Structure 1
Amino acid sequence: MDITHQSSTEHPVVRHVMPSYTLRWLRLGWRDIKKSPVDALFYGAAFVLMGYFLSYYFSEAPQIVITLSALFLLAGPFLAIGLYDLARQMEAFDGQGRASLLHSMVAWRGNIQAFSLYAVLLAVVVFAWFRVSLLMFALFYDTAALPSIDDILRNALLPENLPFMLVYFGTGFFFAALVYGCSVIAMPMMLDKEVDTITAMVNSLQAVYKNVLTMLLWAVIIVGLTAVGFATMYLGLILTVPLVGFASWHAYRDLVSYQ
């Protein structure tokens, strides 16, 4: 049993949902993990390995470590296409078939133009954030060599470092909020329907605008679960990433209808 990418001329309509829906999304996401545990853990393990890779190769370059950590969060929706597809398959099969891991790994081919443009736009944002982060390090640390990550963490709360921390994390929050708003339902929508990147992003921003409290809570939950994964030396990501990915698919289903 298989499913194909749906071409649709239906008009997407963004709905208003209560903040309590976030618990429903998590509950449904956990249900999907139990339905397809091996496939879910495959994607979770991939994120764990990525975390170790970043730590190993960039431990001596703090400006890159922080930027790549932001990339790790910002690129989540794009990297989680496979999880969205697994959730989509389980929804379509409704217990009458098994989700295909291979299908999920190539699901992006169904709307390759939209996903490709999104990847380009994401790369532009990440590159801009990378350049801004380097500029801030150069402005606030007037030294021949960039400080180590240990020096930054050790001196983070010193009064003289407060301007740097405020500017750096304020800028990071801006980039994260921008990408979150543009992608929170855009990626599942591009997987589900043959829509272009801009249309999907506009609907994503509209979903956030219509559901500010709900989407703010959802963002806090995503950050919290990601933080748990990082706090456990990345091992927690093996569960938190599939949970967020599956739950995000159900968020899309509740937030968008078609007429």
Structure 2
Amino acid sequence: MSNDTIAPLTGTQVREDLRLADLRAALGAGVRDFLAYPLYGLFFSAIYVVAGLGLLYAVARLGQTGWLIPAIAGFPIVAPFAAVGLYEVSRRREKGQEMRWGPVLGALRGRGDDQIMLMGAFIFVLFTFWVILAHGISLIFLASAGPTAHSLAILATTSGIAMLVVGGAVGGMLALILFAMTVTSLPMLVDRKVDAITAIIASLKVVRRNAAVMLAYATLVAIALLLALLPLFLGLLVVLPVLGHATWHLYRRAIPPA
């Protein structure tokens, strides 16, 4: 990997020459990490799947299908935080360290501070904001739908399609902003003792200086996660850990070791 095009940023160095070859290499490394230690990936993704199924059951049981699509569509928003343990697995494998559950589960503590938990709180707040905002959008478009507003059949109507278009645009914008803020910041907080603001600034700079490659990765992540949600969230058992490990390796390529 060439490091001849880097720029200093508050103690870090950020590459400006990422290419699609780097993205392919990161994805390949992500697959290898998952295959090397599948139990860790399956463990973290299973938590995500169970949470999704629980949410699906609760919404269906309460008859509030109007909240169903916003909640499911918002799942990619919390995916980066769900992958923190996977970053630690990739980090330990990279350094040849013994793989143990204690350090992997303790990755949420970061480098002995609360910076990752702070990021997690921010992501949760953004997810809650999205669900409320998306529900508000559905109320605007489906206000005259009556009882059918709580049926998935409403999505085939003109109002339902308009709701999906507007909601998708708003949700996509929020997801892209969060992606830019977290794609390398969370791996950095697992890897280095830095504050969350410094990590976020570095992540934003990586995305800005490698816009084409990072936008391609954001699109890939969004499509993969949404497709993985369709078979009752079960596709996440593989997709989430592979993307989590791949994000670590993309971070390594975007921000060389200090």
Structure 2 length-normalised TM: 0.86
Amino acid at match of 1:228: L
CA contact (8 A) 2:13 2:255 kept: yes
CA contact (8 A) 2:109 2:117 kept: no
Number of matched residues? Answer: 245
1:83 corresponds in structure 2 to 86
Unaligned runs of 5+ residues in structure 2 are 1-9
Instruction: Tell me how large the CA RMSD over aligned residues is.
Output: 2.2
CA distance in structure 1 between the partners assigned to 2:93 and 2:206 by the alignment: 24
| Residues 146 and 253 of structure 1: CA distance in aligned 2, closer, same or farther (over 3 Å) | farther
CA contact (8 A) 2:87 2:248 kept: yes
Matched, 1:14 2:14: yes
CA contact (8 A) 2:49 2:233 kept: yes
1:61 corresponds in structure 2 to 64
Indicate the structure whose relative CO is greater, using CA pairs within 8 Å and at least 6 residues apart: 1
Moved more, 64-73 or 144-153: 144-153
SS at match of 1:178: helix
CA distance in structure 1 between the partners assigned to 2:218 and 2:236 by the alignment: 16
The runs of at least 4 consecutive aligned structure 1 residues that moved more than 6 Å come to none
| Residues 67 and 33 of structure 1: CA distance in aligned 2, closer, same or farther (over 3 Å) | same
What pairs up with 1:22-61 in 2 under 5 angstroms? 22-59=23-60, 60-61=63-64
Matched, 1:204 2:203: yes
Amino acid at match of 1:154: A
Matched, 1:236 2:235: yes
CA distance in structure 2 between the partners assigned to 1:33 and 1:82 by the alignment: 12
Unaligned runs of 5+ residues in structure 1 are 1-9
- The one-character-per-residue Cα deviations of 1:46-90 (angstroms, maximum 9, x if unpaired) are 222222222211233234222322332111111111100011111
Structure 1 length-normalised TM: 0.86
| Residues 49 and 139 of structure 1: CA distance in aligned 2, closer, same or farther (over 3 Å) | same
CA distance in structure 2 between the partners assigned to 1:105 and 1:27 by the alignment: 24
What pairs up with 1:188-199 in 2 under 5 angstroms? 188-199=187-198
Percent of matched pairs sharing the same residue:
26
